[in-house]
Amino acid sequence: MPPAATVAAGHGPDRPPGAAPAELLRRLRARTGGDADPVTHVERVPARPGEQAPWPQWTPEELRAAFARRGIVAPWRHQAEAADLAYAGTHVVVATGTASGKSLAYQLPALATLLADPRATVLYLAPTKALAADQLRAVAGLELDGVRPATYDGDTPRAEREWIRRHSRFVLTNPDMLHHGILPGHAHWSGFLRRLAYVVVDECHTYRGVFGSHVAHVLRRLRRQCARFGRTPVFLLASATSGDPATAAGRLTGLPVAAVTDDASPRGGVTFALWEPPLLPGDQAPGAGGQAGGAGDLAPVRRSALRETADLLADAVASGVRTLAFVRSRKGAEVVAATARRALDEAVPGLGDRVAAYRAGYLREERRELERALLHGDLLGLASTNALELGVDLVGLDAVLICGWPGTRASLWQQAGRAGRSGDEALAVLVARDDPLDTYLVHHPEALFGRPVEATVLDPANPYVLAPQLACAAAEAPLTPADLDLFGDGAKEAVDSLVAAGALRQRPTGWYWRHRERPEVDLRGEGGAPVCVVEAATGRLLGTVDGGSAHFLVHAGAVHLHQGVSYVVDSLDLDDGCALVHPEEPDWSTHARDVTSLTVASVRSYVDAGPVGLFLGEVDVTSQVVSYQRRRISSGEVIDTRPLDLPARELRTVAVWFTLSPESLAAAGVEPADVPGALHAAEHAAIGLLPLMATCDRWDIGGLSTALHPDTEAPTVFVYDGHPGGAGFAERAYGTAAQWLRATRDAIAECGCEAGCPSCVQSPKCGNGNNPLSKPGALRVLDVVLANLPGPGAAALPRQGDRRAE
């Protein structure tokens, strides 16, 4: 089982006394009152001693002394093993638990080389700015002469950038800046690149899906530029515990990579509780307006995970326990922090000031101040998005609250591992959302504990990633046939398509970029440039929202939260990338609604199972945000629905879908009038359970169901990747279809509701307001599919043929 917590040296200053994990959990359970215990399972992860190793013989005495000043007298065995491999020139990934000292594993060979060779340089890549800033503090704190570490990212003042290019020997940045800034300006970085000894890729398990596929080619572009200067840097990767890290790291870098996975660090014990919020009393549950989908007043409604997490955070802080609450969305983090602050201020005026929110989109100064306040104990509670999931050294935390399944077991253990870093006992609590997957997991702890974490999924051959990255490479320097080998499978076909499109010109010496402007390529697939959120009356920049989310989060009329202050959006200008807002405290929240249509472009593979067909192929998805609901905060009641005029968005991606014959549905007792609701409910539940099989969460994927699709001419349920060109999730669903749909059927059947609820067939992101839905019909649909599909591995059978949609 992955470690949930490990030892780090020292507590933060002014650490409050706090409560032991078992005692804190008892207090939290007692606060719920009533007869129902919200804790469905408690897992105990025991403490573990560490195993040290001697310093490698090549370690300079100056470096040993610097580590000794930080209290490190010897490395753990896995740190020494990884460092030895890297120093000998082997590309290596160290994949061990949270707080196992992965930083030392790459700092040791990198800094030793910088001290031995006064001309050598090191490039460090982190997926977040917070992690890069934390590593800068660590490296600078060693006070080694001549290293001159510096961060180079979007927050770096332009006046400092030239100095960093010329003088820093340990540059800390992120893949985005490498892609947008360093590689396009490789001529200015030639001195740094021609001496590059190591490339450190931290938290490499986060590079998955389309983002990971883009980063894989950014690293190949980096290797290409270094090779032009006769340099072959050693790649040093650090990962959370993950499945098959050597293969994933090799796919990311395009190089053979050795894996170090035997964690020899000490670990503090952790108590891990699974927590299901209680059902609301009947007079508190929202009526049919708040529970769309026909369940009406009889539908059981659980207390929201956000409210439950906020109350748990407030109780933990009131007990003197330094606590971090992970919340899946930016808006959710703001809600949890604001709710906890209000509860604390009601109990002890002023205590609410020791709780704050942390998320992407804040200004740099705000983020650094929050990190400092948490590290120094000024803050006792922080509600954060996964921006703080990664290796930032949050010393002295006692407890972690995880609001909703974070999407993967790797993320779950990463987040849980933020507590207990001082060697003391720690508490982690997973608070289930009213969602099929969360409900399934808190009642099936065997799906979480004692199982290996997922492998990282990325596909560098995705043509929607490969072609734009080759365009970027050509803009940096003409492509040659040797370069095509570097970029791997599909590169020649992608280059040919770029030539046909007029983007590249082929000459005897290679392929040349034809345009003056550089290609516009978004690594993170967020739908364009960030949208600035600006207070209309003052012109003050509050923060940013990524372009892909702007239609949903900052449309005209939307409620936007920023550090507990509520704003209402006056207007959204997509061309200028600006949303104007004014402060307001409405008693309602806003929820965007969209409509989606889908056409089948081609079929890659299919299984013919009599009345059931299972397919994998390319689809074109068109979606548009068309309206938003205003809902009463106190009750969830829908006040009204207001129209929006926003442009449609189109997506070519990969989908898995199954069809059923009308006769098979009729034989199973699904009446024609119930077919749309039955398919719709099955679609929602299938999307909710797919993260059990693939390294994704439900926000990475979309779905559509219809009683008669024009391309399939049959009742059909589609589940598709929410990224251009696909991200590997639909392929995984196709390959595990029987297992995936069996878990989906079990989750619906085991839910205690009668007509369907958020724990089984309702979806938080449904564009149709969860209407129509038929829980009994969904069970019958899935029974038909499972009765006809072959068992596990069905989709791995030899395909029955390919065909293209007419």
pLDDT (tens digit per residue) in 666-675: 999 999 999 9
What type of residue is 775?
K
Which percentage of the chain shows pLDDT scores above 70? 87
Alpha-carbon torsion angle 581, 587, 589, 590, nearest 10: -60
Q: Please compute the mean of the pLDDT values over residues 364-390 and round it to a whole number.
A: 79
Q: Is 56 helix (H, G, I), strand (E, B) or coil?
A: coil
Q: Is the pLDDT of residue 428 over 90?
A: yes
Q: Is the pLDDT of residue 285 over 50?
A: no
The confidence score (pLDDT) of residue 804 equals 28
- How high does pLDDT run on average in the chain? 85
* Distance, CA of 665 to CA of 521 (rounded, Å): 45
Half-sphere exposure (Cβ direction) of 506: Cα atoms closer than 13 Å: 9
Q: Which of 91, 149, 162 is nearest to 122 (CA)?
A: 149
Q: Is the pLDDT of residue 422 over 90?
A: no
Q: If pLDDT is split at 50, 70 and 90, which confidence band does 11 have?
A: very low
Q: Which of 743, 738, 732 is nearest to 654 (CA)?
A: 732
Hey, how many other C-beta atoms are within 10 angstroms of the C-beta on 557? Answer: 16
Which of 344-348, 587-591, 657-661 ranks highest by mean pLDDT? 657-661
pLDDT (tens digit per residue) in 130-140: 788 889 999 99
Q: Is the pLDDT of residue 129 over 70?
A: yes
Q: How far apart are the first and last CA of the chain?
A: 49
- Strands 504-507 and 381-384 turn out to be unpaired
Structure tokens at 361: 């989109």
pLDDT (tens digit per residue) in 304-360: 889 999 999 999 999 888 899 999 877 888 889 999 999 999 989 999 999 998 876
Q: If pLDDT is split at 50, 70 and 90, which confidence band does 7 have?
A: very low
Q: Please compute the mean of the pLDDT values over residues 243-262 and round it to a whole number.
A: 92
Q: Please compute the mean of the pLDDT values over residues 739-752 and round it to a whole number.
A: 90
Q: Is the pLDDT of residue 21 over 80?
A: no
Q: Please compute the mean of the pLDDT values over residues 488-506 and round it to a whole number.
A: 93
Q: If pLDDT is split at 50, 70 and 90, which confidence band does 270 have?
A: confident
Q: Is the pLDDT of residue 287 over 70?
A: no
Asked if 235 contacts 91 with a C-beta cutoff of 8 angstroms, the reply is: yes
Q: Is the pLDDT of residue 707 over 50?
A: yes
The confidence score (pLDDT) of residue 35 equals 63
Q: Is the pLDDT of residue 784 over 50?
A: yes
The confidence score (pLDDT) of residue 794 equals 42
Lowest mean pLDDT among 233-242, 419-428, 461-470, 680-689: 419-428
Q: Residue written as tokens 């051959």?
A: 461
Q: Which of 609, 630, 767, 751 is nearest to 685 (CA)?
A: 751
Q: Please compute the mean of the pLDDT values over residues 402-408 and round it to a whole number.
A: 84
Q: Please compute the mean of the pLDDT values over residues 208-219 and round it to a whole number.
A: 89
Q: If pLDDT is split at 50, 70 and 90, which confidence band does 210 have?
A: confident
Q: Is the pLDDT of residue 423 over 60?
A: yes
Please state the separation of Cα 360 from the chain's center in Å. Answer: 13
Lowest mean pLDDT among 64-73, 180-189, 540-549, 761-770: 761-770
The confidence score (pLDDT) of residue 283 equals 46
- CA-to-CA dists, residue 137 to 111, 132, 164, 204, angstroms: 15, 9, 16, 20
The confidence score (pLDDT) of residue 645 equals 92
What type of residue is 61?
E
The confidence score (pLDDT) of residue 243 equals 72
* Distance, CA of 440 to CA of 646 (rounded, Å): 36
Q: Supply the angle between the helices 305-318 and 21-31 in degrees, to the nearest 10.
A: 130
* Distance, CA of 720 to CA of 732 (rounded, Å): 11
- Strands 588-609 and 565-573 turn out to be unpaired
Q: Is 626 helix (H, G, I), strand (E, B) or coil?
A: strand
Q: Which of 350, 274, 277, 352 is nearest to 31 (CA)?
A: 277
Q: Is the pLDDT of residue 805 over 50?
A: no
φ/ψ region of 500 (left if φ > 0, alpha if ψ in -120 to 50, else beta) reads alpha
Q: Which of 103, 49, 96 is nearest to 262 (CA)?
A: 96
Lowest mean pLDDT among 344-358, 485-499, 634-648: 634-648
The confidence score (pLDDT) of residue 615 equals 97
The confidence score (pLDDT) of residue 29 equals 82
Q: Please compute the mean of the pLDDT values over residues 6-33 and round it to a whole number.
A: 56
Q: Write the DSSP assignment of 105-137 as a string of letters.
A: HHHHHHHHHHHH-TT-EEEEE-SSHHHHHHHHH
The confidence score (pLDDT) of residue 757 equals 73
* Distance, CA of 400 to CA of 419 (rounded, Å): 6
Maximum CA pair distance of the chain?
79
The confidence score (pLDDT) of residue 800 equals 38
* Distance, CA of 137 to CA of 131 (rounded, Å): 10
Q: Is the pLDDT of residue 68 over 50?
A: yes
Residues with Cβ < 8 Å from 139, sequence gap 6 or more?
Answer: 107, 111, 147, 149, 170, 172
- Strands 323-327 and 170-173 turn out to be unpaired
The confidence score (pLDDT) of residue 582 equals 94
Alpha-carbon torsion angle 537, 542, 548, 550, nearest 10: -30
* Distance, CA of 456 to CA of 773 (rounded, Å): 34
* Distance, CA of 721 to CA of 210 (rounded, Å): 10
Q: Residue written as tokens 């050294």?
A: 393
Helix (H) or strand (E) holding 716: strand 716-721
The confidence score (pLDDT) of residue 395 equals 57
Q: Please compute the mean of the pLDDT values over residues 86-115 and round it to a whole number.
A: 93
Alpha-carbon torsion angle 478, 480, 482, 485, nearest 10: 80
Structure tokens at 271: 């108590």
The confidence score (pLDDT) of residue 525 equals 65
Go through the chain and tell me how many residues it has.
806
Q: Is the pLDDT of residue 202 over 90?
A: yes
